Amino acid sequence: MTEQLKRYFGTDGIRGRVGAGAITPEFVLKLGWAVGRVLAKEKNSKVLIGKDTRISGYMLESALQAGLSAAGVDIYLLGPMPTPAIAYLTRTFHAQAGIVISASHNPYYDNGIKFFSNEGTKLAEAIELEIEAMIDEPLTTVESLMLGKAHRIDDASGRYIEFCKSTVPLKMNFSGLKIVVDCANGATYHVAPDVFRELGAEVIVMGVEPNGLNINQNCGSTDPKLLQDAVLEHKADLGIALDGDGDRLIMVDHIGELVDGDGLLFIIARSQKLRGKGSNCVVGTQMSNLGLEQALKDHDMVLHRSQVGDRYVIEMLKEKGGVVGGESSGHIICLDKTTTGDGIVAALQVLCEMIRTGSTLHDLQSFMTKFPQTLVNVRVNKAINLAKDEAVLAIVASVEKRLGREGRVLLRASGTEPLIRVMVEGRDLALTQKFSE
Annotated catalytic residue, options 45, 56, 102, 104: 104
Residue ranges of alpha helices (H) inside 147-289 are: 156-166, 192-198, 225-233, 261-274
Q: Which residues pair with 49 in a beta bridge?
A: 77, 99
**Beta strand pairing call for 110-116 and 150-152:** unpaired
Instruction: Give the span between the Cα atoms of 390 and 141, in whole angstroms.
Output: 55
The C-alpha atoms of residue 145 and residue 147 are separated, in whole angstroms, by 6
CB half-sphere exposure, 7, CA atoms < 13 A: 10
Give the containing element (helix H, strand E) for 101.
Answer: strand 97-101
How far is Cα 352 from Cα 181, in angstroms, rounded to an integer?
A: 16
The closest of 388, 392, 383 to 422, measured between CA atoms, is 392
Say how many C-beta atoms besides its own lie within 10 A of residue 6's C-beta: 15
CA distance linking residue 414 with residue 434, whole number of Å: 23
β pairing state of 178-182 and 202-206? parallel
SS3 of residue 314 by DSSP? helix
Reply yes or no on whether 104 is catalytic.
yes
Q: Which residues are catalytic?
A: 104
